[in-house]
Amino acid sequence: MDQHVEAWKNITDAVHAKGAHIFMQIAHDGRQSHVDLSRGNAPVAPSVVPYETTVFTRNGWVPNSPHRALEIDEIRAIVESFRRAAERAKAAGFDGVELHNANGYLADTFLQDGTNKRTDAYGGTIEKRARFSLELVDAFASVWGADRVGVRVSPSGRWFSSNPDLPERLRRNLPLTPYQRDAFWAGDERAYTDFSAYDAARSDAAAEASTDETT
């Protein structure tokens, strides 16, 4: 809406006045929504897969509404809505846009084989499941250029927090450092971003043991 564009200009102007940059993150709630947030229309997803959560509405936190699977013709309309959102972000003075492609939002549910059971051009193989996300990126790039478009992904969620080298540990069948769930949403860097890679942790431990032996 034009009112949103004008309101966001106050924010982007203030950020630029401080010599900083600001990107707009654009997302679609997908199935984790409620009819009160979509003018009575059911939430949408790539496929109908049982799912329960709570959604914040004008009546407070309520259970999400049942979702339905998108028809293939509807997908093109959603891609176009993302493109228009990118145009409005540009008009509002942002420096770029980011696709929210994580945390169970619509684009993420197209990527995941657990939530995407489609058998058409948007489901099945990895390439087909990624098609929706790539079309959104192309839509953003048509407005901004590729160098002003970002994509947020999140690989579910938790072992990455305590194992920054998780792919390497899995490849080498190395032991995993347990994550600390209580540190996810509060506190500081401790038990959140201060974990070491496996080889670095072993080197530190060896150095400490050597120091103990010489003292």
User: Which residues are marked as active site?
Assistant: 105
> Which residue do the tokens 């145009």 mark?
87
Q: Are 53 and 67 in contact (CB under 8 A)?
A: no
